[in-house]
Structure 1
Amino acid sequence: MPMAIENGNISYEKAVQEGIKEQQRLVSQNEVVAAANAESTRLVDTAHAEADRLRGECDIYVDNKLAEFEEFLNGTLRSVGRGRHQLRTAAGTHDYAVR
């Protein structure tokens, strides 16, 4: 029986060592997963911040272009108004004449 007990103890120690190794592997795997999750969160946050920054820059650019276009259109309207005024006065029609 002592041999059976010794074999049982060896088998027990082997199972304990395998259990410890498996525990370490799982802890290590969980640490890798946690680190990967943290890194993915950081990357997503960085991407959102960059997208917000670019969106702001685009809004400023578009607003500037629209302001330039508005100035151009206002100038065009003034030119059209002056041209119409010249046509009316050159043709002898008064400014207050309505079509």
Structure 2
Amino acid sequence: MTELKNELIRASAGTGKTHSLVQRYLWLLEHGAEPERIAAMTFTRKAAGEFFERILQELATRSMKAGGGLPLTLLRKVVRRMDSCAWARSTASLPR
């Protein structure tokens, strides 16, 4: 995998920071990064929960469109990693 530089996203509310962060996280997963090797920091548990929920929702949507495949594999991998983290279970829920 190509080594990437750290990226800082700094902007006011409603400008798409979470969307940008989710897309970068998914790109990294799709290119072979392990979920536990990706660091994303937010200021609140609520923001962390929203971040994880959007990742799960996007992976679920992509897996339905693709009929499974890589998005479904990545969804399962992320869910397994989240199950092993007590703080992640308390801040995010699976999409319904």
The two structures have a TM-score, normalised by structure 1, of 0.24
Pick the structure with more helix per residue: 1
For the pair shown, which has the larger CA radius of gyration, 1 or 2? 1
The two structures have a TM-score, normalised by structure 2, of 0.25
Structure of greater relative contact order (alpha carbons < 8 Å, 6+ residues apart)? 2
